Amino acid sequence: MPDATTTLPRPAQAGTSPPGEMPGERPIISVRDFNFFYGKNQALHEVALDIPERQVTAFIGPSGCGKTTLLRNFNRMNELIDGVRHTGDITLAGRSLWDPALEVIALRRLVGMVFQRSNPFAKSIYENVVYSLRICGLRDRALLDEAAERSLRGAALWDEVKDRLHESALGLSGGQMQRLCIARAIANRPKVLLMDEPCSALDPIATARVEQLISELKKEFTIVIVTHNMQQATRCSDQTGFFYLGKLVEFGTTAKIFTSPSEKRTEDYITGRFG
Amino acid sequence: MDNPLTRAEDFFKEDGIDSSKLIGRSLGNRLLTGLCIALSFAALVPLASILYLVVKNGLPLLGWSIFTQLPPAAGMTGGGFGNAVIGTLLMVGIGLALSGPPGILAAIYICEYEPGGRLASITRFTAKLLTGIPSIICGVFAFAAIVLATGKFSSLAGGVALGVLMLPTILLTSEQALLGVQRAYREASYGLGATRFQTIRRIVLPEAMPAIMTGVMLAVARAAGETAPLVFTALFSQFWMSSLMEPTASLAVLIYNFSIVPFEYQVKMAWTASLVLVLLVTATNVTAQLVFSKKH
């Protein structure tokens, strides 16, 4: 496996964390005093939170509340838009995302992303999965094959596509395409996997499969998921953050947020009284 | 059991909708659909009649010798216009080589690197202006830039004139092709840690290639039929060409020359040259579509 071109410390492999340290005890991503602007429009206000390692953290809140904006800052995808700026800082494993020594392309290998609408390339299933390795110059067929199988198995898609790896990815069903995008994202072996409403375009069966997959993936990856679906947040997340009007209203364990929220607005939202 | 149709009308009545108007609306719909179909056929008429005339008048003289022999002298019969076919291919080729890469690369810059930037908008504006420039001006430009500078009419000057003519078409159609590539593809690629160059080369360009090629073919087809820019630059020649720096025959100028002379055979040959020109353009077009069409 080629390493990301970065000097960031590699994450401990799954299951090899030092004895006595439970996964999730130390934050992998820390957000401090974070403000974010699209031009003059402030989308995030003074957000501060810690995302624990190898857990699933869900961001919930009504549309336009800033949850996706925060998510897309974790791999600096927002910078593809003109006229954005931020104040405050976000750190990954203790290091600022805007550290000049950390190349954005290296960051995006460490922090992978699955989008709301599945977006496989108009290439074969195989080429989709190994894309991130090819762009790093990996040509060794055996390594690519191995990465493809590992990632497709990781995304619970291997059995369905192993006989047609070299057919177009655009012939897959919607749910399969989204799992392919997950396979493509984990082929990098990122530390963090960002998911922006990954199930919003899927039917209930495909949604259930992806949710099951999320609980499998958290053994190896830290997952941050944006969702509009309260049940989904309760079913598959360990931590939940509730955003409203660009502010982080409440952040805590999912059990606490959904059973005894400290904020009135959180309670109103999760019980469906607004939003 | 009630007739469901009468029931539907009752529902409309409750909402204050006069159901007889519905009939008028669907009649209007059919009328306009019919009009669209009729006008589509009307638009085919000029195209079909041109093709019919070119095939009918051009076919009698079409034969292998057309491509291997030189044009007949005034009043003579026989011969062909092999030198003009080669001249056209060569000059369109030079034009394409000069305008294709800068046109496509400029479109990439405009779309991918600095969409809202100053240089991008100046380039786009200039290209739009250039599309409106009459082709004869391109000829005058190449005349001044190449012919006067080198002191010779030449296929190089002809190629430059055609290149200037093709550049804006290639640039603007390539820009549209690149704009047509979904943002989601770019985001997926950047999200996996690809650089801008990798995203463009591996994702955006392959996706846009069929549309870019369509634009290039449009430019080629137009340039192949242009006479005015060549009259000033490549002139014409009765002989096989031996270098880039001499007057060179082309199909367009041959058609122009032969169609205005009082000799029946030459006029017939002009028709045949028209047919060959149409066939050449079609053949390049089809080949390009086959080669660059999406694999998936």
The proportion of chain A whose per-residue pLDDT surpasses 90, expressed as a percent, equals 51
Spatial separation of the C-alpha atoms in residues B75 and A221, rounded to whole Å? 85
Which residue of chain A is at minimal alpha-carbon distance from B200? A135
Q: Is A178:A114 a contact under the CB 8 Å cutoff?
A: yes
Asked whether residue A119 is domain-assigned, the answer is yes
Predicted confidence (pLDDT) per residue in B55-79, tens digit:
998 888 888 887 887 878 777 777 8
| Residues of chain B found within 8 Å of residue A136, distances taken between Cβ atoms | 193
Cα maximum dimension of chain A: 56
What three-state secondary structure class fits A185?
A: helix
**Residue partners of A251: CB distance under 8 A and separation at least 6:** A49, A239, A240, A241, A242
Locate A181 and state its tokens.
Answer: 């995008």
Q: What is the mean pLDDT of residues A117-138?
A: 91
Contact between A1 and A189 (Cβ < 8 Å): yes
Contact residues on chain A for B185, CB-CB shorter than 8 A: 119, 121-122
* pLDDT score of A4: 43
Which residues on B lie below 8 Å from A108 (Cβ)?
190-193
Residue B95 and residue B165 in contact, taking contact as beta carbons nearer than 8 Å: yes
In tens, the pLDDT along A23-67 reads: 446 789 999 999 999 989 999 999 999 999 999 999 999 888 999
Six-digit token string for A130: 């190994």
Interface of B with A (CB under 8 A): 116, 182, 184-195, 198, 202-203, 206-207, 294, 296
Is the alpha carbon torsion for A165, A170, A174, A180 positive or negative? positive
The terminus-to-terminus CA distance of chain A in angstroms comes to 45
Average pLDDT over residues A226-248: 91
Chain A residues with CB-CB distance to B202 below 8 A: 131, 134-135
pLDDT score, position B97 = 96
Instruction: State which residues form the domain around A118.
Output: 52-270
Q: Around Cβ A252, how many Cβ atoms within 10 Å?
A: 17
Q: What is the pLDDT of residue B237?
A: 81
Q: Considering only CB atoms, which chain A residues are within 8 Å of B190? A: 77, 80, 108
Nearest to B191 among A77, A117, A134 (CB): A77
Predicted model pTM = 0.80
- Cβ atoms of A60 and A76 closer than 8 Å: no
Q: Where does residue A50 rank: exposed (0-12), middle (13-18), buried (19+ CB within 10 A)?
A: middle
pLDDT, averaged across chain A = 86
Domain membership of residue A35 (yes or no) is: no
CA dihedral B118, B119, B125, B129 (to 10 degrees): 150
Number of domain units in chain A: 1
Please identify every stretch of chain B with a pLDDT value under 70, giving residue numbers as ranges: 1-6, 8-9, 294-296
Structural domain contains residue A180: yes
Average pLDDT on A184-212 reads 88
Mean pLDDT of A170-177: 90
Task: With respect to residue A213, please indicate whether it lies within any of the assigned structural domains.
Answer: yes
**Nearest Cβ partner for A184 among B187, B192, B294:** B192
**Best residue in A104, A121, A127, A192 to probe B by mutation, most B CBs within 10 Å?**
A121
List CB contacts (< 8 A) between A198 and chain B: none
**Residue A223 above 60 pLDDT?**
yes
DSSP string computed for B147-172 = IHHHTS--HHHHHHHHHHHHHHHHHH
Q: Is residue A199 part of a domain?
A: yes
**For residue A154, what pLDDT band results from cuts at 50, 70 and 90?**
confident
How far A272 CA lies from chain B's nearest CA (Å)? Answer: 31
Please report where in the chains the tokens 């290209």 appear, as a residue.
B127
pLDDT score, position B3: 59
Q: Give the chain B residue nearest A122 (alpha carbons).
A: B296
Q: According to the model, what pLDDT value does residue B103 have?
A: 95
Domain CATH number, residue A61: 3.40.50.300
What pLDDT does residue A12 have?
Answer: 41
Q: What is the chain B residue with the closest CA to A82?
A: B116
- Inter-chain residue contact A113 with B189, CB threshold 8 Å: no
pLDDT at position B274, please? Answer: 92
pLDDT of residue B55: 92
Hey, are the CB atoms on A121 and B185 less than 8 Å from each other?
yes
pLDDT at B4: 58
> What pLDDT, on a 0 to 100 scale, did the predictor assign at position A275?
53
Instruction: Say which residue the tokens 């992806």 belong to.
Output: A210
Whether residue A187 is contained in a domain is answered as: yes
Q: Are B282 and B267 in contact (CB under 8 A)?
A: no
